[in-house]
Amino acid sequence: MAWVSIADESEIAVGDMKYFSALDVPVTVYHLEDGWYATSDVCTHQDCSLSEGEIEENEIVCWCHGGAFNIRTGEATRMPCVIPVETFAVRIREGRVEVDVE
pLDDT digits over 89-100, tens only? 999 999 999 999
pLDDT per position as a tens digit, 17-51 = 999 998 889 999 999 999 999 999 999 998 899 99
Contacts of 96 (CB under 8 A, 6+ apart): 5, 6, 7, 8, 9
Task: Please give the residue range of the domain that contains residue 62.
Answer: 3-100
* pTM of the complete model: 0.92
Residue 1, pLDDT above cutoff 80: no
Instruction: Give the CATH number of the domain where residue 75 resides.
Output: 2.102.10.10
Give CA–CA dist 19/6, Å, rounded.
10
Q: How many domains does the structure of the chain reveal?
A: 1
